[in-house]
């Protein structure tokens, strides 16, 4: 953690800039889009700082970087969501979750975690269903399935019972859960009812989630370093 911390300083600074400026969402602009996306740009730099060779040779890290790129595009679309770009942002984040799921992998399978995540996601969709109409009835269902699958793969990697977990797997698990909290808050606030302090909850959990998922990408490098020292 000590070795990765300094590389995250730009991310923390950019996040502080976002919350300090707190630009109004009622007047979207390219400047507000830049400020919103800046912390994610810093996470690009964080991963690139580990070296191009590392990203090329480790598919999980390169897929997380690709997910961060689609996330930034999705963030920009959501700045103009009231102008009709919400679905565009939804699509970008759907691709992000597919990339993150691929990065986390399918081993171990852990069907119990999958069933639990499926139950949680089904319950969320059942609650949202009566508030949805038109294409959102289907789009939200697909999106919930994708983020639920991503959450399952992150949780499955923990293997707490077998004592095989690492701090990066824990980081991926917590990050995925925070991402789900952020997106659920968006859905409740947009389709159901106003959520108090919704914007703060959405962005605080979102930035934390992206940082933790980006941190999970360094696991393979840590394992290689450990083998070399051994």
Provide the token pair at 172.
């991926």
Residue 109's pLDDT band (cuts 50, 70, 90)? very high
Mean pLDDT of all residues in the chain? 92
**In the predicted model, is pLDDT for residue 225 greater than 60?**
no
How many angstroms separate the CA atoms of 75 and 3, rounded? 29
How many angstroms separate the CA atoms of 142 and 28, rounded? 28
| Contact by Cβ (8 Å): 61, 219 | no
Count structural domains, the chain.
Answer: 1
Q: What is the pLDDT of residues 158-204, one digit of tens each?
A: 876 665 667 888 999 999 999 999 999 999 999 999 999 999 999 99
| Contact by Cβ (8 Å): 135, 90 | no
**In the predicted model, is pLDDT for residue 4 greater than 70?**
yes
Could you list the residue range(s) of the whole structural domain that residue 26 is in? 2-226
Task: Please report the pLDDT score of residue 120 as a whole number.
Answer: 97
Rounded (10°) CA dihedral 106, 138, 130, 204? 50
Residue 2's pLDDT band (cuts 50, 70, 90)? low
Mean local confidence (pLDDT), 36-46: 97
The pTM is what? 0.93
Task: Please report the pLDDT score of residue 166 as a whole number.
Answer: 79
How many angstroms separate the CA atoms of 168 and 159, rounded? 12
Query: Smallest Cα–Cα separation from 151: which of 211, 96, 97, 220?
Result: 97
Q: Which long-range contacts (CB under 8 A, 24 or more apart) does 111-119 make?
A: 113/152, 113/155, 113/156, 114/152, 114/156, 117/148, 117/149, 117/151, 117/152, 117/155, 118/148, 118/152
Task: Please report the pLDDT score of residue 162 as a whole number.
Answer: 61
């Amino acid at each position: 953690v000590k070795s990765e911390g300094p590389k995250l300083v730009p991310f923390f600074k950019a996040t502080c800039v976002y919350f300090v400026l707190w630009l109004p969402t009622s007047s979207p602009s390219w400047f507000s889009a830049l400020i919103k996306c800046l912390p994610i740009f810093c996470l690009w730099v964080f991963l690139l700082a580990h070296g191009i060779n590392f990203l090329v040779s480790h598919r999980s890290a390169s897929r997380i970087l690709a997910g961060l790129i689609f996330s930034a595009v999705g963030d920009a679309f959501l700045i103009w969501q009231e102008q009709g770009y919400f679905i565009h942002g939804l699509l970008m984040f759907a691709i992000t979750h597919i990339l993150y799921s691929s990065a986390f992998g399918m081993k171990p399978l852990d069907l119990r975690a999958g069933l639990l995540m499926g139950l949680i996601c089904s319950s969320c969709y059942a609650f949202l269903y009566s508030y949805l109409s038109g294409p959102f009835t289907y789009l939200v269902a697909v999106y919930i399935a994708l983020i639920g699958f991503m959450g399952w793969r992150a949780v499955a990697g923990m293997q707490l019972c077998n004592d095989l977990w690492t701090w990066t797997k824990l980081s991926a698990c917590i990050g995925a859960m925070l991402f789900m909290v952020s997106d659920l808050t968006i859905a409740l606030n947009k389709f159901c009812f106003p959520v108090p302090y919704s914007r703060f909850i959405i962005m605080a959990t979102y930035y934390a989630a992206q940082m933790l998922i980006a941190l999970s990408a360094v696991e393979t490098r840590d394992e290689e370093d450990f083998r070399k020292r051994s």
